[in-house]
Copies of this chain bind each other. A is one copy, B any other.
Amino acid sequence: MTYDRLETASPPSRRPRKPAPAAGTGPVIGRALQILGAFTAEHPYLSLSDLARRANLPVSTVHRMLGELLAWGALERDAQGRYRVGLRLWEIGSLAPRSQGIRELALPHLHDLSALTRENVQLAVRDESEVVFVERIGADGAVPTLTRVGGRLALTATGAGLVLLAHAPAQVQDEAMARPIQRHTPYTLTNHVQLRRVLAQIRVCGYAVSDRQLSADTLSVAAPVTTADGEVAAAVSVVVRHGSTRVGPLADLVRSAGRAISRALHTPVA
C-alpha cells in the first residue's frame, strides 16, 4: 500500500449532474449503468423481469445487454436464473482509492478502537451530499446500527456525516442548508440555523456528537481523518447506546483514532 494511492483521497471535483444523454454511446452506457444500479443490499439477486423493472428499462433491452455484462463478469447468473453483481465488478470496485484505499490503511486503527470501546466503529467518506460508509467493525453486544458497508445516508443524519459536512466546501454546506432535513426521531435536528452552529462547533472541538438523530436509542461520536495537506478525507465514528457512555472520554478515543488514521495516510509505505 503506497502513499501514492492516497495522495488524492479528497472527494472528486464536482461531477456533472445527470447530463442529457448524448447521441451515440451515452444512452447505451447509461442504460448499462442503470442495470448495475438496480442491485441493492435489499435486492442482491434479481430475476430478469425484476432487474428490468428496477432498472426502469424494457426486458428486451436488458436481455440484449446482459451478454456483455455476463461475459466480462460484471454480473453473474445462478442456477435459478437470477442475476447478481459479479466478482469481477467487485474486484474493480476494490480499486477505488476513496473506499478500499482508505479502508486498508484505517483497518488496524478501527479494530483498536472497537476493541478499546467494545462498540461498533465506522469509517465513512463524503460523496456530494451524502455520507458513504466504507467500513464497519461490529462488536459483540454492541448496539445494532442502521448502517452497512456501502450504505449511504444524508450528511446530517450521523456523526460521521456531520464531521464531513462541517469540513465540506461552502457550496455543499449551502446546499445542505437549502434542503429540508429529514426527521428520523423526535430528537432529529431539523433547524438550519442550529445546524450551522453545530457545524461550527465541530470545527472548533474536533469532533461531532449525533444523539438520537437517526434512531431513538443510539448516539454516535465522530472525528475527522485528514490528508497530508489538511483536507478532511474521511470520518471515523463510534456508535453507542444513548446514555450508556460519557461522551467526553469517548470523544478523546475517537479523535485519537482519527489522528492515527491520518498519520497512516500521511506516511509513505513501501
Contact = CB atoms under 8 A, between A and B. Distances in A.
A134 B73 CA distance: 16
Interface string A39-56: 111001100000000000
A153 interface: no
A85 B77 CA distance: 24
Nearest to A94: B150
Interface stretch (A7-15, A189-197, A209-217): A7-15
A8 B84 contact: yes
A14 to B, nearest CB: 10
A74 B93 CA distance: 9
A95 B44 contact: yes
Q: Which of the listed residues A28, A65, A132 has the most CB atoms from chain B within 10 Å of its own CB?
A: A28
Given A68-B33, A73-B127, A90 B80 contact: no
B33 A72 contact: yes
A243 interface: no
A36 B84 CA distance: 19
B16 A70 contact: yes
Contacts of A84: 8, 95-98
A248 B67 CA distance: 46
Q: Which of the listed residues A40, A64, A82, A96 has the most CB atoms from chain B within 10 Å of its own CB?
A: A96
A146 interface: no
Contact of A74 (B4, B33, B44): B33
Contacts of A175: none
Interface stretch (A18-26, A176-184, A220-228): A18-26
A93 B5 CA distance: 19
Name the 10 nearest CB pairs between A and B, nearest first. Answer: A93-B93, A94-B150, A12-B76, A90-B96, A90-B93, A8-B78, A29-B68, A85-B96, A90-B99, A28-B28
21 contacts: A8-B78, A8-B80, A8-B82, A12-B76, A13-B78, A17-B71, A24-B64, A26-B67, A29-B65, A29-B68, A41-B95, A84-B95, A85-B93, A87-B98, A90-B93, A90-B96, A91-B99, A91-B150, A93-B93, A93-B94, A100-B149
